[in-house]
Amino acid sequence: MDAKDILGLSKNTFPPLEKKSRPPKESQRKPDGISREVYALTGGLAPLMPAIEASQLKKKPLPLEKITWQWLPFTSSARKDNLQLYHWVRVVNGVPPTGDYSFAKYNKTVDVIKYTDEEYDKYLTNPMWTKEETDQLFDLCERFDLRFVVIADRFPSPRTVEELKDRYYSVSRAILVARAPSSGDVAAHPLVKEPYNVSQEMERKRALSMVLSQTRQQERRDEEVLVEAKRIAESRIPPKRVSIVHQAPPLVVTQFIHKGFLLVPDQIVYAGHQDFFVAAINEIGQKHHYPHCPILNHVLNDAFVDIKHVAEESQLAASNAGAEVTERAVPGETVSPSTVQLPSMVVPPTLTDNASTLASLRMLRVYLRTYALEQMVQAANASAGLRTIKRVEQTLQDLGVNLKPRVPTKAVCAEHLELRKEILTWLNLQKQVQYKEAEGSSFRDGSYSETPGTPKHLHRAGDQDRTFVPDAVNFGVERIGKKDQKRKAPGAPSAHKRPRKLKASDL
Amino acid sequence: MSHSHPLPLKRQGEHLSDDGASAIKPSRLKIAIPSEDSDKKNASKRLKDVEICVPIVYGTIAFYLGRKASESQSHKWTVYVRGASNEDLGVVIKRVVFQLHPSFNNPTRVVESPPFELSESGWGEFEIAITLYFHNDVCEKQLDLYHHLKLYPEDESGPQSTKKPVVVESYNEIVFPEPSEGFLARIQNHPAVNVPRLPTGLNLPSPVSIDTMNDKERGDTKDHPLSQWFLNFSEADELLKLAAARQQVQAHIVKLRRQLSLVEGLPQLSKPPSGYECT
């Protein structure tokens, strides 16, 4: 149509007319089976040769046999009553299939032992069970194929499943042993080899039900404890020589959060005596009405074995204290044995980190002194945040000490490590002093008074633009020179959330 | 980078046995005493309370070639591992492999006998990986060190001198935490190794020396041609500085502790009436 426009021909033909003119054209062109455009791709002509040979196409394979389906009767060897039922059967060449009903082989039964009365009197008498009951039990066992839950339900007198099982198995066992010509013959029989253990079974079932009835919270705590125990166990595994000086083996168990029956020890550090430890657990358990904490015992026992091992070893090492030990002794942190109280003392993590680092170093056959120092420094820094670590390094620089010693001999590394630890202690003390004074000031000023530059406890956030650090909190202690000469300009805003009020570092 | 340019320094791994008759004369024959079997067993037993320490220094010395410098070879440098007191490390280290920049020919250079060093010429700085392999009775694991080759001096004032090289050395100590008895017996009194005081009553097997100990050339670096440039590493300075720093910090700690105890004592006295003055 547009072409005609372009050519300038008259637009006389109306759409219906055009449509009319099209169909004859289309019928001329369009073949069957493929669309017009596709056909047009071939050039508008049908191909001369067929593209695919008919013989190449898949043919249905002629059936070799003649198969029919017939409705035929059948019997099953599993049935004792010769009942004849019908079903569809695939008949091949007129020959119906032979053989037993294909599902008959699944009809399994249990061989429940049958004892005679004499045998009963000879071997099977039991004060807890009458002959009647035993007979009833065996009858039910036979009927219900040893499905003890059903049997327990049907048993006339109230007996627990465990009792029934116990009776059944012990009777069977006794009969087997009695009937066997020699004990050796039956020794391999599973009934003889593994006798039924009532108490164990009851315990197992109880534990299982506890596990299955855990709430989500308890499950999570379970995991935490396991992870913790695993971590401890792994760090304890090479407890060859722990060169740490400490006195009597301390028991330190802290902060038992307890809900349900799972305890999450925050820091299981050392355990001196196993009884001590288990007693602690049990006491806690009893306190909260869980006399036995099977999971906890199991979990902690594993970790515990290693801990105990370490404690023993370390005792030996302590008694063999040599030059090594004194050099590496962690300053001052001996722990006194505590009675089992909750919560009791916290052993600082430095001890454990030191020990585990040393142990892991010893696992290597060879290492560089600088590497060892790095590991120890890392371990010591583990408890500190990134900012604290940076402050430590800044302090080292200010003191004129290389961050990595230039001559890393054993002695130098030890000194370096000690210095770092002392700086950490110092920084912690600084923070503590700050906090104490902050608390003190919040006691003092109950209201929003105007004391210049005194950031209130409530007003902590963002109060950074003091130009002068006044002695706002004065409990009558003399303070000389509050300004911080260490690294920051006096009163320069510190990066801390709580601005430092007093810098006593220069005193 | 440059091609390797063999320098008149010692070639690696070469034994000076040009006259074939006197082949390699190992000065120390294998003295294995065939008698005691227990000795042999003991030799591999490990001592738990003894820690053997081998102080080493490793680094590079680079000379500017001055007039002889070309585009691709402007510096002549040597990388080495030596004992900190210039003693022979051959008793501990079996061989050292220096891994150079891939642009070098055969970038993996193996040095089979002490002194463990390698010389090359080039123009660029790169990281050299130094792998130490120890004798069988010492340690089966290798130890890796890394050193950045420095050719150009810190202060760029003026032209480089061909006389003064750029020396970068690092001190470190190789620690064997549980040495075998054989190893200990062998190096017990060797100057290259630091052995702590041994526990009393320790029965060490008789020392068995290592095969192929090439003693024709000395393994120590005491009179090494480059020894005048070796740096001194004295732990005394560092110890002093550390001790001084520790003292300072300890003093601060004491003061703070005192402060803390004072501050802790006082809050009970507070809650003063208004009008409390702060000074």
Mean pLDDT of A435-453: 63
CA neighbours within 13 Å on the CB side: how many for B136?
A: 7
In chain A, residues with a C-beta closer than 8 Å to the C-beta of B241 are 400-401
Cα–Cα distance, A156 to A153 (Å, whole number) = 8
Residues 6+ apart with CB under 8 A from B88: B114, B192, B218, B219, B220
Mean pLDDT of A339-350: 41
Q: How far apart are the first and last CA of chain B?
A: 71
Closest chain B residue by Cα to residue A361: B177
Backbone angles phi, psi at A268, to 5 degrees: -85, 110
CA distance A505 to chain B (A): 6
Shortest CB distance from A410 goes to which of B53, B143, B259?
A: B53
pLDDT at A31: 63
pLDDT at B235: 87
What percentage of residues in chain A have a pLDDT greater than 90? 16
pLDDT at A464: 47
B243 touching A, CB under 8 A? yes
Q: Which of residues 40-79 of B touch A (CB under 8 A)?
A: 48-49, 51, 53, 55
pLDDT at B188: 84
Cα–Cα distance, A254 to A344 (Å, whole number) = 6
A456 pLDDT more than 50: no
B202 touching A, CB under 8 A? no
Q: How confident is the prediction for chain A on average, in pLDDT?
A: 69
H/E run at residue A310: helix A294-319
pTM: predicted TM-score of the whole model, two decimal places: 0.45
What percentage of residues in chain B have a pLDDT greater than 70? 75
Query: What tens digit of pLDDT does each residue of B61-82 get?
Result: 999 988 888 888 889 999 999 9
Mean pLDDT of B182-195: 86
Mean pLDDT of A271-298: 45
- Tokens 């959330």 belong to which residue? A497
Q: Record the tokens describing residue A90, joined without a space.
A: 């695939």
Q: Record the tokens describing residue A294, joined without a space.
A: 């099977």
Closest chain A residue by Cα to residue B257: A429
Give the residue from A345, A280, A358 showing the smallest Cα distance to A314: A358
Contact at CB, B249 and A400, closer than 8 angstroms = no
CA distance A410 to chain B (A): 8
In chain A, residues with a C-beta closer than 8 Å to the C-beta of B255 are 504, 507
Query: What tens digit of pLDDT does each residue of B212-235 get?
Result: 555 556 788 888 888 899 998 888
Please give the sequence-ordered ranges of beta strands (E in DSSP) within A180-266, or none if there are none. Answer: 257-259, 262-264
* Burial (CB count <10 Å: 0-12, 13-18, 19+), residue A23: exposed
B176 pLDDT more than 70: yes
pLDDT at A68: 87
Q: Where does the pLDDT of residue A343 fall: very low under 50, low under 70, confident under 90, or very high at 90 and above?
A: very low
Cα–Cα distance, A370 to B49 (Å, whole number) = 21
Shortest CB distance from A369 goes to which of B173, B262, B279?
A: B173
- Tokens 């999971």 belong to which residue? A295
Q: Record the tokens describing residue B61, joined without a space.
A: 């010395």
Contact at CB, A368 and B257, closer than 8 angstroms = no
B99 pLDDT more than 90: yes
Contact at CB, B260 and A429, closer than 8 angstroms = yes
Mean pLDDT of A443-466: 49
Closest chain B residue by Cα to residue A473: B278
Higher pLDDT among residues A153 and A486, named by residue = A153
Best of A407, A427, A454, A475 to mutate (most B CBs within 10 Å, chain B):
A407
Shortest CB distance from A401 goes to which of B139, B241, B252?
A: B241
Give the residue from B161, B87, B147 showing the smallest Cα distance to B118: B147
What are the distances in angstroms from CA A220 to CA A216, A224, A225? 6, 6, 9
Q: Record the tokens describing residue B225, joined without a space.
A: 């041609």
B256 pLDDT more than 60: yes
pLDDT at A238: 62
Pairing of strands B108-111, A257-259: unpaired
Cα–Cα distance, A269 to A106 (Å, whole number) = 57
Q: Which of residues 121-150 of B touch A (CB under 8 A)?
A: 134, 138-141, 143, 145
Cα–Cα distance, A11 to A14 (Å, whole number) = 8
Contact at CB, B242 and A507, closer than 8 angstroms = no
Q: How confident is the prediction for chain B on average, in pLDDT?
A: 79
Query: Coil, strand, or helix at residue B93?
Result: strand
In chain B, residues with a C-beta closer than 8 Å to the C-beta of A448 are none
In chain B, residues with a C-beta closer than 8 Å to the C-beta of A391 are none
CA distance B247 to chain A (A): 9
Q: Record the tokens describing residue B78, joined without a space.
A: 């040597």
Q: Where does the pLDDT of residue A176 fall: very low under 50, low under 70, confident under 90, or very high at 90 and above?
A: confident
Contact at CB, B272 and A454, closer than 8 angstroms = no
What angle do helix axes A161-179 and A198-212 make, rounded to 10 degrees?
140
Shortest CB distance from A240 goes to which of B48, B51, B262?
A: B48
Best of A402, A409, A471, A475 to mutate (most B CBs within 10 Å, chain B):
A409
ipTM above 0.90, yes or no: no
Higher pLDDT among residues A62 and A464, named by residue = A62
Q: Record the tokens describing residue B57, joined without a space.
A: 């220094």
